């Protein structure tokens, strides 16, 4: 290969890679899971949760139009927002509020991520007030009953584990009956403890699926979990506890995604076979 050919090849390869990376950054996908849950009340059979995470102030079109247009194609019964809607540097909540305001009259629940707390420490900026004013319930180490058809499940949330704000025991202290617990946390590192506590479903984010995923290997690294993290992305099972790790919508550190496009997640609950409804 002569010099001109090599230059042409390298230029073409570089252009193709840049185009692919730009495509990955801005192409949304929808991932669906069906999760069996013990003691799931009959009114919650088929109950679907829209799980969104790690927006990092990113916009998908003006006023999040492209993202919201995709979301509105699907049916869902509640929204779980598992942190890092803003960035620690130059935090602002407009992108998050544009998203929240377009999600319709559904129950919306939020737990803080490390970027929310970093923004508070570094800049005195707290997005929770804006979210609360927009109708979002902030789950700061507590649980509330979500009622449907006269029966309920528990929606619990812990504050950010990475920032040392998580109090799982406190969050679960009010869930005294046999109704299933759906737990929201920014990081999946709580998975073993959640399983020991009998949580039915844990929804988490934080890892971005590694942002760069190697086929047959997965994420090489995830923040606060190190190299080859055990719960980097997708669905995991421990006993009767299911963990779903959302790959997120935005990026941190580097604006790069490879084999891991931004995503929205839909989780549909079904009764665990062999158990009776509450």
Give domain limits for the chain: 29-271
Q: How far is CA 171 from CA 76, 193, 240, 241, in A?
A: 25, 13, 19, 17
Read off the pLDDT band of 226 (50, 70, 90): confident
Kind and range of the H or E run holding 181: strand 181-184
Q: Binning pLDDT at 50, 70 and 90, where does residue 18 land?
A: very low
Mean predicted confidence (pLDDT) in 212-216: 90
Within 10 angstroms of residue 239's Cβ, the number of other Cβ atoms is 9
Scored b (16 or more CB within 10 A) or e, 156-176 reads: bbbbbbbbebbebeebbeebe
pLDDT above 90 covers a percentage of the chain that reads 81
Q: pTM, whole model, 2 decimals? A: 0.91
Three-class secondary structure of residue 235 per DSSP: strand
Q: 156-199: per-residue pLDDT in tens?
A: 999 999 999 999 999 999 898 999 999 999 999 999 999 999 99
pLDDT at res. 3:
58
**29-271 is a CATH 3.60.21.10 domain:** yes
Structure confidence at residue 216 as a pLDDT band (50, 70, 90): confident
Mean pLDDT of 35-42: 98
């Amino acid at each position: 290969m002569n010099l001109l050919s090599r230059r042409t090849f390298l230029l073409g390869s570089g252009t193709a890679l840049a185009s692919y990376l730009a495509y990955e950054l801005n192409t949304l996908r929808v991932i669906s899971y069906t999760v069996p849950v013990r003691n799931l009340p009959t009114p919650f059979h088929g109950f679907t949760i829209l799980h969104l995470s790690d927006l990092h102030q990113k916009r998908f079109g003006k006023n999040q139009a492209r993202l919201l247009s995709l979301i509105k194609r699907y049916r869902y019964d509640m929204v779980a927002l598992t942190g890092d809607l803003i960035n620690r540097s130059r935090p602002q909540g407009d992108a998050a509020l544009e998203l929240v305001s377009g999600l319709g009259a559904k129950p919306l629940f939020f737990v803080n991520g490390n970027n929310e707390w970093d923004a508070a420490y570094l800049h005195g900026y707290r997005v929770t007030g804006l979210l609360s004013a927009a109708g979002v319930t902030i789950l700061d180490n507590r649980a509330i009953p979500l009622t449907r058809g006269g029966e309920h499940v528990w929606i619990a949330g812990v504050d950010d584990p990475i920032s040392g704000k998580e109090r799982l025991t406190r969050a679960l202290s009010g869930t005294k009956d046999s109704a299933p617990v759906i737990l929201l946390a920014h990081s999946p590192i709580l998975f073993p403890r959640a399983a020991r506590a009998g949580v039915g479903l844990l929804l988490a984010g934080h890892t971005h699926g590694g942002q760069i995923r190697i086929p047959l290997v997965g994420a090489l690294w995830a923040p606060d979990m190190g190299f080859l993290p055990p719960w980097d992305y997708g669905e995991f099972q421990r006993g009767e506890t299911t963990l779903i790790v959302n790959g997120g919508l935005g990026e941190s550190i580097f604006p790069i995604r490879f084999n891991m496009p931004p995503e929205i997640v839909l989780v549909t609950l079904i009764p665990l076979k062999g158990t009776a409804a509450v």
